[in-house]
A and B are shown apart, each in its own frame.
Chain A
């Protein structure tokens, strides 16, 4: 439904997006994750047809965005990063305008408006001008306009930004039910969102796609290398050498602890053998004073940070 083939975007000499390829199939919700400025919004805008790719091909529902923009736009619902609302229009009039542009038949407009108003819980504000709406309502109205006309493809840039926890859950449900028969690409800062409703997660940083996999797939890949963190007082070089001598340790990174200068924070990448952390503990505790030792779970947040960190170093 959404397909990117070797897509790059340059502004002048600066390359913002480097050779990105991925697909989103029907019935699939894909989460798009990356730090600020990673290129999520630019990628979303290229898929939505707001900007064109410098090279490569973007297609939506089988239509090439470069040459069949209008056909693709008919099959696309898009919620940009900032909900695109006309301040002086009332909620119903705003939705009616979007419905008309999307070519929804006159007879079906009322029914369609009722559907999205109900799905996005906008019943209480239908007669209000949009400038009077709270941030949460603005966000939900933005989502409502994207849902109008039941598009085959839905692009949502930070759909839950500015919502309170209850609203986040409701919005998630709307997206989840929509995603059963449609293709949804959803960018988000919030990781639980990606874990809860997305079948796959695409991680992007500095315009490069670092990984596309299911949350559990990313987790499994990451479990092959686990992290053990220590807080210890003693000389960094000697401690590092001692830990490196333990069987199963892949790499060691020591740095002074930020809050207590005499202490050392040590992060070790270890393989998934049992007892590695116990061996580290024995070696360290025998010669220096060990204050803390923990094996970190490979949560999706840690996996994301690791990918982004590695991406930044390469």
Chain B
């Protein structure tokens, strides 16, 4: 447990000592703020539906920047040789790093709460629906971070890691649209089940479905397991 915590603290320390975290958080908050103001003033209705949709897309494009250095950075700085020879198991490295990135995600998520202040002051929004939306947003982020972290383990080059992660995450986001073109029910259902956006839609509507929660968690677990197995195999 000590080792895992040490990795976690090191990751957080490294995020806040490099400009990347500040950049990602700033871009995310600016984008979210813009979408919020745009959506609310355009519709005049105090809901977060459209804003959550926009936040989801923004997250999918920003997560790769957050995760690209997690392993690629270790390879290029040759610090992986240190991590791999310290008394650490691969899963401790993987989980420690994952928790570090997830904490950044949590900070990003909580920081958007500032948008809710005027919403609650001047409107009459449904608190439970917004809460469900936030749960969905964080779960979506957890799945994206795990995928980004896995791809970061495959290459020494951070840019390449990000460039692989972006299309994969976008594919997970948009795969639901393919369902409309499928003749077979089986394929329609499959694409629907795999879609980040479809499951996120449930949360935005205020539904916390166990199937959707499980989907994001299973995706994250598979990515993390692949990540740890890859580190083990690399030896």
Contact = CB atoms under 8 A, between A and B. Distances in A.
Given A74-B87, A80-B81, A89-B13, A103 B3 contact: yes
B77 interface: yes
B14 A86 contact: yes
A288 interface: no
Contacts of B84: 49-50
Interface in A156-190: none
A103 B17 contact: no
Interface stretch (A94-102, A266-274, A300-308): A94-102
Given A78-B85, A80-B82, A88 B18 contact: yes
Interface string B73-93: 000011111101111110000
Contacts, number: 77
Contacts of A76: 85
Given A52-B235, A73-B87, A89-B13, A97 B77 contact: no
B184 to A, nearest CB: 43
Contacts of B80: 84
A98 B87 contact: no
A297 interface: no
B7 interface: yes
B2 interface: yes
A85 B77 contact: yes
Given A52-B235, A101-B87, A102-B87, A84 B81 contact: yes
B3 A93 contact: no
Contacts of A49: 84-85, 235
Nearest to A104: B2
A100 B2 CA distance: 7
A8 interface: no
Q: Give the interface residue-count category, chain B.
A: 20 to 34
Q: Give the interface residue-count category, chain A.
A: 20 to 34
B86 A98 contact: yes
Contacts of B177: none
A82 interface: yes
Contacts of A82: 78, 81
B77 A87 contact: yes
B77 A86 contact: yes
Interface string A43-58: 0010011111000000
Interface string B1-28: 0110111011001100110000000000
Interface in B162-185: none
Contact of B9 (A73, A87, A97): A97
For B2, B17, B87, B89, the residue with the greatest tally of chain A CB atoms inside 10 Å of its CB is B87
Nearest to A97: B10
A145 B14 CA distance: 18
A86 B76 CA distance: 11
Given A50-B85, A97-B9, A101-B6, 13 more contacts: A50-B235, A73-B86, A78-B85, A84-B77, A84-B82, A85-B79, A86-B14, A86-B77, A97-B6, A98-B82, A100-B6, A100-B9, A101-B86
21 contacts: A48-B85, A70-B87, A70-B88, A71-B87, A73-B85, A78-B82, A78-B85, A82-B81, A84-B82, A85-B77, A88-B14, A88-B17, A89-B13, A89-B17, A97-B6, A100-B2, A100-B3, A101-B7, A101-B86, A129-B17, A145-B82
The 10 A-B pairs at the shortest CB distance, nearest first, are namely A84-B82, A100-B6, A88-B17, A73-B87, A84-B79, A48-B85, A74-B87, A80-B81, A101-B6, A82-B78
Interface of B: 2-3, 5-7, 9-10, 13-14, 17-18, 77-82, 84-89, 235
